[in-house]
Amino acid sequence: MNQPKTAAHWWQETVVYQVYPRSFQDSNGDGIGDLQGIIQRLDYLKTLGIGAIWLSPVYRSPNDDNGYDISDYEQIMAEFGTMADMEQLIHEAEKRDIKLIMDLVVNHTSDEHPWFIESRSSKNNPYRDFYVWRASVNGDAPNDLESTFLGSAWQFDDHTGEYYLHLFSKKQPDLNWENAKVRQAVYDMMNFWINKGIGGFRMDVIDLVGKLPDKKITGNGPKLHDYLQEMNAKTFGGKDLLTVGETWGATPEIAKLYSDPERNELSMVFQFEHVGLDEQPGKSKWDLRPLVISELKTVFSKWQTELGDQGWNSLFWNNHDLPRIISRWGNDREYRVQSGKMLAILLHMLKGTPYIYQGEEIGMTNRIVADISEVEDIESKNMYADRMAKGYTEAEILISINAKGRDNARTPMQWDTSKNAGFTTGTPWLAVNENYHEINAAHALADHTSLFYTYQQLIALRKKYPLIIWGSFELLENTTETVFAYYRHYEGETWLIVCNFSDQKQTFSLETTVEKVIIANSEKDYSTLLNRTLEPYEAFVVKLGGNVHA
């Protein structure tokens, strides 16, 4: 059970770092992060110890959705640089043993992609069937499918008098995956990138490509897995690349379909069950409720145990679509560093491949806006317009945006105390969080007790101890509600991870022998675990000796 079913893969043993290029490092003063900026910061990432970078889209794009609307998959966005810069980035990263994972956005393109320009030009254009076109029904849209960014998913196009499908913005028309030519064009493009020496793909909303819009089926359509098996065979199969699918609706059963090694689809998926725990059931991400820690325990335990060796987990708190974890489920005030360390230890001791989102390793926080004019993100802006029309108050809407808006994660990386946090010498495209004077990478690097070094240590531990990679997971029951504790077992060895997920002291007691402390966010003595008081957000990992009494 504990042994890998097949040979170990590099992507099971590494930690991935997500770079959102627009906000990472500007090298030419135009206020927009770029590829040369990333190259400048590779040594920082090497110091952290990560083995791969997931690069959010850098392809040519009119930026309706910050690069997730692509108008040319084989060209680099002018603001980010050139293909020569991209090749240099791949090469410079490789020198530091870091692989580049490209974002693969193929559920849709931009409406400015040449395929779509052709497609919309006439009903008998050879590219017409590259997209999903439908005639109107009684003078109206074909059905009431909704876009993720609100409003109808169907857009009427005057020129040919038909509707096209867009599950995201109307500048993101959906590709028609039922068309074999579309699939082949995607595979050719993937091979173009594989031949450049990249380490894999993160697949944007990949669970939507099997959609049957006439039946109003979007996620997990009947042909989804056939397409992925075909993609695997025609592109990365046999090359040991890291492939991770973004799959919002995945359950463990569904995740196994993607990541069972015997099915030849993907390495792993991002599942989002934990991410939805602070939403009101059945409502949207904007409808908030407090996180219940016991629910988080249940969800993580389920994913840790149910995939078994028929699948592989990805582990994350943050990405470019989610608010900052310290502000969300930690404490971004007096316990910022302490809660950040607890969250890091809790996640990185689980089984799976961890992902760090830029700035997480220095404890960056949400940036609060006071007015909608400070918001850039299309999703938040659409929600604002929608809810204003529905009669919500402006104050209510801003509470949701400040809690969940995607700009929270997208403010520029905070490097140092110089102007604009060292991100740009110009005017940043999105305002820097004012707390950069205190929270920045230079401070973190200069302080050996900083969150940065906890992340560095966690990454190093993963390289040293196979238990972290292969050990089985067991939840420790009977703790207080906000103490999240679990065991990892591997080849007769047991580690215990204990995390106080709250800003209150908690009690904890376990009769056991501690052999050694692996990592902790306090200097306390852990030689006995009987009748302990845990400080707010205290977290520790110990190797147990002798018999374990659960």
Q: Indicate the residue among 54 and 486 with the shorter CB distance to ligand GLC.
A: 54
Strands 483-490 and 472-475: antiparallel
Provide, rounded to whole angstroms, the least separation between the CB of residue 79 and Ca ion: 6
Residue 282 burial (C-beta neighbours within 10 Å; 0-12, 13-18, 19+): exposed
Provide, rounded to whole angstroms, the least separation between the CB of residue 510 and ligand GLC: 40
Q: Indicate the residue among 28 and 382 with the shorter CB distance to Ca ion.
A: 28
The three state secondary structure string of 337-364 is HHHHHHHHHHHHCCCCEEEEECCHHHCC
- Which of Ca ion, ligand GLC, none does 65 bind, CB closer than 5 to 8 A by kind? ligand GLC
Exposure on the CB side of residue 108, measured as CA atoms within 13 A = 28
Beta strand ranges found along 423-531 (DSSP E): 472-475, 483-490, 493-500, 506-508, 513-520
- Return contacts of 143-150, CB within 8 angstroms, 24+ apart: 143/213, 143/214, 143/216, 145/213, 145/216, 145/218, 148/379, 149/378, 149/379, 149/382, 150/382, 150/383, 150/386
Site string for ligand GLC, 84-123 (x = CB under 6 A): ---------------------x------------------
- Which of Ca ion, ligand GLC, none does 32 bind, CB closer than 5 to 8 A by kind? Ca ion
Closest-by-Cβ residue to ligand GLC is 68
Q: Indicate the residue among 205 and 519 with the shorter CB distance to ligand GLC.
A: 205
Residue 390 burial (C-beta neighbours within 10 Å; 0-12, 13-18, 19+): exposed
Site for ligand GLC (CB under 6 A): which residue of 260, 321, 361, 538?
A: 321
Provide, rounded to whole angstroms, the least separation between the CB of residue 476 and Ca ion: 48
Q: Which of 65, 174, 246, 273 is an active site residue?
A: 246
Q: Per-residue DSSP letters for 357-411?
A: ETTGGGT------SSGGG---HHHHHHHHHHHHTT--HHHHHHHHHHH-THHHHS
Q: Indicate the residue among 168 and 423 with the shorter CB distance to ligand GLC.
A: 168
- Which of Ca ion, ligand GLC, none does 227 bind, CB closer than 5 to 8 A by kind? none
Site for ligand GLC (CB under 6 A): which residue of 54, 68, 154, 470?
A: 68
How many binding residues for ligand GLC (CB under 6 A)?
A: 9
The three state secondary structure string of 125-148 is CCCHHHECEECCECCECCCCCECC
Site string for ligand GLC, 47-66 (x = CB under 6 A): ------------------x-
Site residues (CB under 6 A) for ligand GLC, limited to 188-207:
204-205
Q: Which of 69, 85, 174, 204 is an active site residue?
A: 204
295 a catalytic residue: no
User: Is residue 135 within 8 Å of 162, Cβ to Cβ?
Assistant: yes
- Which of ligand GLC, Ca ion, none does 94 bind, CB closer than 5 to 8 A by kind? none
Please report, as ranges, the residues that interact with Ca ion according to CB under 5 A. 26, 28, 30, 32, 34
246 a catalytic residue: yes
Residue positions counted in the chain: 550
Query: Contact positions toward ligand GLC, by CB under 6 A?
Result: 65, 68, 105, 168, 204-205, 246, 320-321
Catalytic residues: 204, 246
